[in-house]
């Protein structure tokens, strides 16, 4: 099945583009019964033959019909495009592709396999074998899913090509030939940039226009390298509806839908603050019904686990975002214009999204090997935890000094997981984590592991570690730079091998911060408060972008929003999370979502691959915030 541009409507400014003769319209979800499309007239059923009778001649007078006075019928509305997701990261649920292809109707199935860390992993894989550099799991999933997709007319769009989209496209063709299945495969390239000395990878984040070009040329499978996560949705939607680069609001709506889908089951109850309200043991993967104006409905296949409601969608909208302007290569989506509405069970509508011209630059992610690291976790049990911690630190420092090979960076973290008068040894124990880093492998290897092991019989009572110390390993560093979009050779390689250049947007707009709303909601009147965890009434979701972390916090009703908008300031945030008090923290207000989004600059150092922090991707930062106590008006807490 090819994805044709939908028919244009009076509200659509870009005319629909023509499709090849073999194109078929987007598949209807309706049952296979005769359907009269809007704007057409049905032919009457054939009359039954009259009963036999003697021939009689009857004179008949004929009256000419009156001229038609009714106006022409409106053209049919474009069919919504159903786009599903079957992967949120490299390592996601293996059978998700089969689940999505067999669980209900789809037009397009996407798979997001790339993250900042994934590009480093693929870069190291390519060092060992230049023919690799892509997410090989996708091929194994496709081996059982390709026949299903072709049988059901579902297009597949994936960024599993990683550092080698052409190589994965070739492997897909080989797999199809082995299976005896005829498919048209295309790929998108141009994200690979000149790699600076000392780096492993350099890839620009492309938009969805190359994907759209491949689909309009009849591709059944489109493989990309580094594109934005939302491009996996904007590309198919632009191809289906015939959007051009000036259809900014429609593109922005698809970007928002794509952002909700990109992390798979995080939109359907996975990693969800209020998980106890629903059965999320095996949440289904999400899908979006995209409309011609860019509005959408987020849902999931019937009978799958999890839930799609205002809160699960809000949580994912806040994930790994910054301010109100969510910039991408095709459009900048204004998150402060997003409106959500519950439209039925497991159906959330997204509308009202405004788009602005994209910035003139593209983000380029750079990965390099930053040096060597090692880690030891000491277990401290029972009494005198602080004194035991001081002793082992002093002993370790002395051992390193005697060796003459102390690492350049030594970091200690004490996690007080112990409880007084504990009923089990485990709950009586705290964890003391040592992390060392250096450019020289020898400085974090035997000298560190030996110093730790040699303390075994001469240190604090109850000495033991969680695992034998290793010899150390290389760590990665992620950096982001900008490059002019006009300097990136975004190219769609069509199914017949034709190379089609994708031009950069002609109109761009420099990014500026959106000022806070002129007026926050009226604060609640003074009343009695009680000290309780923030999480009793607020949800949160947190994540990483390079060395920065974000924490999105939302509430579920207007009364609570009047409190949160005034209470959770940057100052209060830093008081609740002391680790952030010396860092730059920004607050962005999203009134339509009843949410505030905090960006913490530099919390994660050199990024997830550096593994410098206890929680290197800040995944649980929001849950830490929710566990903190503050004074909450009793009117928000209900009885009890």
Q: Is the pLDDT of residue 408 over 90?
A: yes
Q: Specify if 432 maps to a domain.
A: yes
Q: Are residues 453 and 562 in the same domain?
A: no
The mean pLDDT of 383-393, rounded to a whole number, is: 98
Q: Is the pLDDT of residue 49 over 60?
A: no
Q: Are residues 491 and 537 in the same domain?
A: no
From the list 244, 215, 208, the residue with the least C-alpha distance to 16 is 244
Predicted pLDDT of residue 516: 76
pLDDT class for 17, splitting at 50, 70, 90?
very low
At 297-337, the pLDDT tens digits run: 999 999 999 999 999 999 999 999 988 999 999 999 999 99
Q: Are residues 306 and 433 in the same domain?
A: no
The mean pLDDT of 222-235, rounded to a whole number, is: 98
Predicted pLDDT of residue 518: 64
Predicted pLDDT of residue 266: 98
Q: Is the pLDDT of residue 23 over 60?
A: no
Q: Specify if 584 maps to a domain.
A: yes
DSSP states along 373-441: EEEEEEEEESS-HHHHHHHHHHHHHHHHHHHT---SEEEEEEE----TT-SSTGGGEEEEEEEEEESSG
What integer best gives the mean pLDDT of the chain?
Answer: 89
Predicted pLDDT of residue 52: 38
Q: Is the pLDDT of residue 75 over 90?
A: no
pLDDT class for 640, splitting at 50, 70, 90?
low
| Contact criterion met (CB below 8 Å) for 537 and 308 | no
* Euclidean distance between CA atoms 219 and 496, whole angstroms: 9
User: Which range marks the domain in which residue 602 is found?
Assistant: 529-636
Predicted pLDDT of residue 505: 96
Predicted pLDDT of residue 37: 33
| Contact criterion met (CB below 8 Å) for 267 and 261 | yes
Q: Specify if 463 maps to a domain.
A: yes
* Euclidean distance between CA atoms 246 and 60, whole angstroms: 61
The mean pLDDT of 376-401, rounded to a whole number, is: 97
Q: Are residues 334 and 387 in the same domain?
A: no
Q: Specify if 46 maps to a domain.
A: no
Q: Is the pLDDT of residue 392 over 60?
A: yes
Q: Specify if 55 maps to a domain.
A: no
Q: Is the pLDDT of residue 66 over 70?
A: no
What are the tokens at 569?
């300031």
Q: Is the pLDDT of residue 143 over 60?
A: yes
Q: Are residues 376 and 286 in the same domain?
A: no
What's the pTM value of the predicted model, to 2 decimals? 0.85
* Highest mean pLDDT: which range of 13-22, 64-73, 100-109: 100-109
3-state percent helix, strand, coil for the chain, nearest multiple of 5: 30, 25, 50
- Which residues are within 8 A (CB) of 417 and not within 5 positions of it... i.e. 6 or more apart? 427, 429, 430, 431
Q: Specify if 376 maps to a domain.
A: yes
pLDDT class for 79, splitting at 50, 70, 90?
confident
User: What is the SS3 assignment for 349?
Assistant: strand
* Euclidean distance between CA atoms 304 and 285, whole angstroms: 8
Q: Are residues 136 and 285 in the same domain?
A: yes
The mean pLDDT of 276-301, rounded to a whole number, is: 97
Q: From residue 352, how far is each of 112, 250, 336, 371, 391 by CA, in Å?
A: 26, 10, 10, 47, 60
| Contact criterion met (CB below 8 Å) for 78 and 9 | yes
Q: Is the pLDDT of residue 597 over 50?
A: yes
Q: Is the pLDDT of residue 256 over 80?
A: yes
Q: Specify if 16 maps to a domain.
A: no
pLDDT class for 493, splitting at 50, 70, 90?
very high
The mean pLDDT of 540-568, rounded to a whole number, is: 96
Q: What stretch of H or E contains 342?
A: strand 339-342
Q: Are residues 154 and 254 in the same domain?
A: yes
Q: Are residues 301 and 163 in the same domain?
A: yes
Q: Specify if 507 maps to a domain.
A: no
CATH number at residue 425: 3.30.70.380
| Pairing, β 108-111 against β 155-158 | parallel
The mean pLDDT of 98-118, rounded to a whole number, is: 96
Q: Is the pLDDT of residue 363 over 50?
A: yes
Q: What stretch of H or E contains 146?
A: helix 137-152
The mean pLDDT of 355-377, rounded to a whole number, is: 95
When mean pLDDT is compared across 4-8, 292-296, 605-609, the lowest value belongs to 4-8
Predicted pLDDT of residue 30: 33
Share of the chain above pLDDT 70, in %: 88
DSSP state of 72: P
Q: Is the pLDDT of residue 188 over 70?
A: yes
Predicted pLDDT of residue 74: 60
Backbone torsions φ then ψ of 250, nearest 5 degrees: -65, -45
How many independent structural domains does the chain possess?
3
Q: Is the pLDDT of residue 382 over 70?
A: yes
| Other beta carbons within 10 Å of 233 | 32
| Contact criterion met (CB below 8 Å) for 285 and 96 | yes
- Residue of 388 and 34 predicted with greater confidence: 388
The mean pLDDT of 606-635, rounded to a whole number, is: 90
Q: Are residues 391 and 264 in the same domain?
A: no
Predicted pLDDT of residue 72: 52
Q: Are residues 119 and 231 in the same domain?
A: yes
Q: Is the pLDDT of residue 377 over 60?
A: yes
Q: Are residues 303 and 227 in the same domain?
A: yes
- Which residues are within 8 A (CB) of 399 and not within 5 positions of it... i.e. 6 or more apart? 451, 454, 455
The mean pLDDT of 578-601, rounded to a whole number, is: 96
Q: From residue 545, how far is each of 260, 316, 330, 481, 587 by CA, in Å?
A: 17, 15, 20, 13, 16
Q: Are residues 116 and 183 in the same domain?
A: yes
Predicted pLDDT of residue 73: 57
Share of the chain above pLDDT 90, in %: 81
| Contact criterion met (CB below 8 Å) for 332 and 252 | yes
The mean pLDDT of 353-361, rounded to a whole number, is: 98
Among residues 417, 443, 468, which one ends one of the domains?
468
Q: Is the pLDDT of residue 61 over 60?
A: no
Predicted pLDDT of residue 181: 98
Predicted pLDDT of residue 485: 98
């Amino acid at each position: 099945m090819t994805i044709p541009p939908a028919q244009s409507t009076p509200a659509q400014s870009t005319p629909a583009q023509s499709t090849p003769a073999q194109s078929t319209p987007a598949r209807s979800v309706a049952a296979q019964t005769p359907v009269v499309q809007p704007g057409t007239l049905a032919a009457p059923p054939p009359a039954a033959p009259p009963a036999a009778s003697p021939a009689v001649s009857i004179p008949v007078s004929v009256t000419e019909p009156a001229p038609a006075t009714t106006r022409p019928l409106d053209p049919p509305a474009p069919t919504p495009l159903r786009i599903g997701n079957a992967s949120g990261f490299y390592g996601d649920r293996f059978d998700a592709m089969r689940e999505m292809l067999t669980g209900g109707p789809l037009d397009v199935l996407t798979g997001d396999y790339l993250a900042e860390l994934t590009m480093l992993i693929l870069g190291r894989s390519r060092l060992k074998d230049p023919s690799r550099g892509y997410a090989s799991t996708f091929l194994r999933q496709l081996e059982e899913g390709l026949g299903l997709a072709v049988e059901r007319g579902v297009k597949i769009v994936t960024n599993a090509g990683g550092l080698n989209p052409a190589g994965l496209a070739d492997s897909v063709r080989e797999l199809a030939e082995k299976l005896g299945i005829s498919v048209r495969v295309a790929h998108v390239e141009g994200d690979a940039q000149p790699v600076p000395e000392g780096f492993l990878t350099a890839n620009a984040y492309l938009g969805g226009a190359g994907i759209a070009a491949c689909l309009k040329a009849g591709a059944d499978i489109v493989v990309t390298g580094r594109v934005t996560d939302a491009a996996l949705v904007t590309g198919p939607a632009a191809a289906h509806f015939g959007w051009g680069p000036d259809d900014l609001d429609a593109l922005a709506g698809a970007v928002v839908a794509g952002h909700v889908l990109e992390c798979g089951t995080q939109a359907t109850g996975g990693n969800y603050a209020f998980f106890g309200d629903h059965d999320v043991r095996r949440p289904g993967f999400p899908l979006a019904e995209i409309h011609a104006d860019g509005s959408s409905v987020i849902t999931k296949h019937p009978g799958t686990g999890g839930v799609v409601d205002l809160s699960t969608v809000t949580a994912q909208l806040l994930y790994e975002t910054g301010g109100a302007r969510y910039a991408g290569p095709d459009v900048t989506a204004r998150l402060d214009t997003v409106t959500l509405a519950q439209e039925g069970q497991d159906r959330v509508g997204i509308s009202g999204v405004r788009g602005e011209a994209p910035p003139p630059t593209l983000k380029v992610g750079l990965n390099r090997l930053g040096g060597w690291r090692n880690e030891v976790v000491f277990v401290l049990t029972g009494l005198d935890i602080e004194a035991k911690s001081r002793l082992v630190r002093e002993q370790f420092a002395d051992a390193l000094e005697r060796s003459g090979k102390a690492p350049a960076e030594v970091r200690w973290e004490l996690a007080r997981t112990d409880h007084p008068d504990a009923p089990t040894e485990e709950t009586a124990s705290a964890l003391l984590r040592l992390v060392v880093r250096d450019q020289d492998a020898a400085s974090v290897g035997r000298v560190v592991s030996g110093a730790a092991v040699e303390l075994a019989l001469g240190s604090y009572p109850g000495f033991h570690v969680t695992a034998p110390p290793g010899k150390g390993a290389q760590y990665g560093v992620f950096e982001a730079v900008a490059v002019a979009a006009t300097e990136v050779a975004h190219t769609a390689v069509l199914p017949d091998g034709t190379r089609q250049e994708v031009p950069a947007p002609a109109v761009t707009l420099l990014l500026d911060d959106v000022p806070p709303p002129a007026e926050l909601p009226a604060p609640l009147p003074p009343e009695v408060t009680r000290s309780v965890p923030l999480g009793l009434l607020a949800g949160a979701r947190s994540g990483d972008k390079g060395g920065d972390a974000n924490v999105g916090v939302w509430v579920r009703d207007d009364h609570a929003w009047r409190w949160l908008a005034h209470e959770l300031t940057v100052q209060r945030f830093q008081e609740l999370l002391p680790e952030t008090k010396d860092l730059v923290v920004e607050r962005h207000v999203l009134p339509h979502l009843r949410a505030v989004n905090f960006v913490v600059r530099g919390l994660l150092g050199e990024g997830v691959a550096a593994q410098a922090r206890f929680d290197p991707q800040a995944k649980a930062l929001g849950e830490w915030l929710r566990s903190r106590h503050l004074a909450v008006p009793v009117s928000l807490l209900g009885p009890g």
